[in-house]
Structure 1
Amino acid sequence: MSQTVRRAGLFALVSVLALVAPLAPVLAEQAGVPAVDSNTPLVSAVAAAPFALVALGAFAVPEDSALFEWLARPADFEEGRLYGLVGFALAASALAFVAVNFTLPLSVYVASVVLLAWGSFAEKGALELSSNRFLAVSAFAFAAFGAGTLAQLATAALRDVSFDPSQAVFLAASGAMLAALLRSMLFDRDDPLVMTTTALVLWLFADLPLELTATQVVGAIVISIALGYVSYALETASITGMLTGTLLAFLSVVLGSYGWFAVLISFFAIGGLSTKFRYDEKLDRGIAEENEGARGSGNVIANSAAALVALLGWATSTHTGVPQDVFLFAFAGSIAAAMSDTLSSEIGGLYDDPRLITTFRTVPPGTDGGVTWQGGVAGLVGAGVVGLIAFVAFSLSPTATGVVVLAGVCGMVVDSVLGATIEGTLLDNKGVNFVATTVAGVVAAALAWGLGLVPL
């Protein structure tokens, strides 16, 4: 076993100390505090103390000791302190305090700490056996999912409360995918950030008024795994892009329905394949996507962030009082814009004599804001495809379908105008994509409301 794997295994064992937090009230009572409340200072101290002591002990470990050799990350050798373990333990200790004193569920806290550590252990072990990054990320995700599920089960048993398998699996899967995504974008030393972000997102999901079924959650997991493998096999997305798409697909099924997933996957599938279409010719023209057309997480997030917000809005609408259909139109409109703009760029860029959308002056292929009539037709077809899928998936009326298509075309035009005016100065390409899809979502929701398609 290499030093890297051994260190990750020790971090995984340390993470199990998170299970002290569910026992904190019992331990406090045994210390002589009768009928202790869950948010008393003593309970907070008991919950946070194990990791605080680990952080203190790690800081004091001498650089020339065998323990330092076992626990040190590469950056720790340069600094002479076990800052990696210190940061991990302090983040876990702080989250324990939040879980005891606020509404962060203890099961979410324990799962967030444990799934990160055990996922990392599995990832390091996989990398020792093979240099394949896809297999390593898959090992992280599966191990994190299993650890997150077991952590919630153990928390329920220690607290003697009911255990909801469907919610536990949903939270574990969401946490595993999110942590895997963040880890693929960051470094080992950023574990405190990954842990905290995962805990906060799972806290949000745990508070959503969801009616989960085992069939729905398992179906979402199977679909997500299949999507991840296909996108990797076809090389339509990088590792981070694949993880982003997988997480979004999973959430679209669980928070929305299979219809929401169908709308989302239409963009991932057709948009990804359009990037590969006549790729060598695009290379010669200087307009091809980098990494052989494999889209990264930044590109996927920029085109899907508005849709994700709409999806979360749909799931929380009972709390906000906003009609659900507002978010449905915003979701479909933003995806239609992403599809329309992608096809417009990928197809239109293959034709000569593009014209700048603001002046109609002929510009070289690949110029930001340059459009061709062929690209415009392709963009209209792309918006129409999303509109047709939304028509079937959401049982939309012809007028409502027209709203989705119109919003998609509007987003495509906004993208081109921004590309011709402020791209490269105020915004980069991803920023332009985000603004355009957001505008399209707002336009779709506003038109639906104005036309009386959304009940007030």
Structure 2
Amino acid sequence: MTTPVRRAAVFAILATLSLAVPLFGPAVGATLAAIVLVGAFVLTDGPLFDLLAYPSDYEDGRLYGLLTFVLAAVVLGLIAVTASLSIAVFVGTVLLIGYGNLGERLARLRTDTEVVVVTTFCLVATLAATAGQLATFWLTGTAIEPLLPTVLFLAASGTLFAALLRDVLLLYDDPIVMLSVGFLLWLLVELQPAIGAGEIAIALAVTVALGYASFALGTASIAGMLTGVLLGLVTIVLGGYGWFVVLIAFFAIGGLSTKYRYERKEELGVAEANDGARGSGNVLGNAAVALVAVLGYAASSAALLPADPNPALFLFAFAGSVATAMSDTLSSEIGSVFERPRLITTLEPVKPGTDGGVTWQGEVAGIAGGAIVALISYVLFPEVDAVGAAIIAAAGFVGMTVDSLLGATLEGSVLGNQGVNFLATLLGAIVCALLVFSVGVLG
């Protein structure tokens, strides 16, 4: 084995020590962690140092990679012992990172194809996280069968989030990834997802298949694919398939619109980079507000919010944000192929691709995009009547217009493209929820 693989194997073994907490109790687990931390601090050279050291550790002669890895596990362990984070989630998270990293390192011995490496990480990490949670339940005498769907959902969600963070961060940032995954899973557990084994299996199959299709068709990068699959999975489990259909309609139509007359866009210099494949930043810029709305809906349904709002308000906020994203994407991708855009603030002619430049063709396409989301919502959700659908479409138009105004005034100097998208979808969500509340659509 190469040194990176051996190091990953040792880290995986150390991650397995997290099982000492449910097996022997927190005191023994803390003692083992303290021994490893002291050893990592005093070990400054020699073969064992070379085995455990990351390249950056040689500069100061300290095993900072190992120290921070163990410290991250200790922090999660302390939260699990003193707060509502379950021991099972703590163990599953630590094993997810440790064994997922080992799986990735082994995959790199065989191939340089990044999608294969990421897939291997996801498979190994999901199995490790699942095994860690189940082992904890078995050691503590907890009934396993009723918890299997939730265990798989948490393992898959944590793995996708970890893979996404590892794509954005560095390999040596595993402690940050571990803590981030632990906090995400803590939140998801608090939302009390109610799912069956068949439902989670179908949800995983659908989201993974559609995610890979987006990657294979070139409409999403690997990071964009991971982000989309994670968003889709969380949306199905916490919202439902209707919410997922609305979200996937945006991803599908928006992705295809990026490919619309792509050669012409390249000639005009307005084509999306990476052959139109959207990355995680683009996906999150357009869908982060929708995800927050899904989480708000789940929290409201579980009576975790102090004001006890009507959960349907979050449904309309979700639809308003997606309508904005759809309207803006179609307006930009279709309108950009026409050579006579005008700046939305002054109506002066500008070059194609100018921030805040609009065309009448793009505006029509944007209105149609919002109407599509409104129609899908009207068909799928009993809470959305004709007035509610009209409000969703109107929110999409307002959000699209605000996106153009921000592009003409703040983009490039104060905000980036993803920031503009986020603020526009946020406004679309707020406008939709406020209009629905003010006209009494929800009774």
TM-score higher than 0.5: yes
> 1:76 and 2:57 equivalent?
yes
With 417-426 and 435-444 compared, the bigger mean Cα shift is at 417-426
Which residue does 1:346 correspond to in 2? 333
Q: Distance in 2 between matches of 1:51 and 1:96?
A: 10
| Other structure's SS at 1:104 match | coil
Cα displacement (A) at 1:102: 1.4
Aligned residue pair count: 436
- 1:3 and 2:17 aligned: no
Report what 1:125 is aligned to.
106
Matching residue of 1:15: 15
- The TM-score with structure 1 as length reference comes to 0.94
Q: Does 1:419 align with 2:407?
A: yes
Aligned to 2:73: 92
User: Once the two structures are superposed, what CA deviation does each residue of 1:157-200 show, in whole Å capped at 9, x if it has no partner?
Assistant: 11112221111111111111111111111112211110001001
Q: Quote the residue 2:200 is aligned against.
A: 217
Q: 2:285 aligned with 1:298, yes or no?
A: no
Secondary structure of the residue aligned to 1:319 is coil
Equivalent of 1:399, from 371, 387, 390?
387
Q: Does 1:197 align with 2:180?
A: yes
Contact 1:240 1:297 in 2 (8 A): yes
The one-letter amino acid of 1:387's match is A
Query: What stretches of structure 1 of length at least 5 have no aligned partner?
Result: 26-42
Q: Say if 2:263 is the partner of 1:275.
A: no
Provide the secondary structure at the position in 2 that maps to 1:453. Answer: coil
Q: Is the CA contact (8 Å cut-off) linking 2:327 and 2:396 kept in structure 1?
A: yes
| Corresponding residue SS for 2:106 | helix
How large is the Cα RMSD of the aligned pairs?
1.2
Q: Is the 8 A contact 2:44 2:63 kept in 1?
A: no
Q: Match for residue 256 of structure 1?
A: 239
Name the amino acid aligned to 1:82.
L
The separation in 1 between residues aligned to 2:110 and 2:88, in whole angstroms, is 33
Match of 2:125 in 1: 144
Q: Distance in 1 between matches of 2:231 and 2:380?
A: 18
Q: How far, CA to CA, are the matches of 1:323 and 1:209 in structure 2? A: 18
Q: Partners in 1 of 2:152 and 2:400 — Cα distance? A: 38
Moved beyond 3 Å, runs of 4+: none
8 Å contact kept, 1:344–1:379: yes
**Match for residue 38 of structure 2 among 51, 56, 61:** 56
Query: Separation in 2 of the partners of 1:49 and 1:304?
Result: 43
Contact 1:47/1:100, CA 8 A, preserved across alignment:
no
**Uncovered stretches (5+) of structure 2, i.e. residues with no partner:** none
C-alpha separation between the residues in 2 aligned to 1:50 and 1:425?
A: 51
| 1:35-61 alpha-carbon deviations (Å, 9 max, x no partner) | xxxxxxxx4x43323223212212222
Structure 1 contact 47–97 (Cα < 8 Å) conserved: no
The secondary structure found in structure 2 opposite 1:351 is coil
CA distance in 2, matches of 1:209, 1:157: 21
Measure the CA separation in 1 of the matches of 2:193 and 2:61.
48
Match of 1:387 in 2: 374
For the 8 Å contact 2:17–2:29, the answer to whether it is kept is no
2:195 is the counterpart of 1:208: no
Deviation at 1:319, TM superposition (A): 2.0
Share of identical aligned residues, percent? 49
Once residues 56 and 254 of structure 1 are traced to their aligned partners in structure 2, the CA distance between those partners, rounded to angstroms, is 42
Using the TM superposition, give the Cα deviation of residue 10 of structure 1 relative to its aligned residue in structure 2, in angstroms.
1.2
SS, match of residue 347 in structure 2: coil
**C-alpha distance in 2, partners of 1:23/1:101?**
17
Out of 257, 279, 304, the position equivalent to 1:319 is: 304
**Residues 54-99 of structure 1: CA deviation (Å, up to 9, x unaligned):** 1221222232x11122212121233322211111011111211121
2: CA distance between counterparts of 1:454 and 1:187? 47
Instruction: Report SS of the residue matched to 1:74.
Output: coil
Greater displacement, 446-455 / 341-350: 446-455
- Report the Cα distance in structure 2 between the residues aligned to 1:340 and 1:450, rounded to whole angstroms: 23
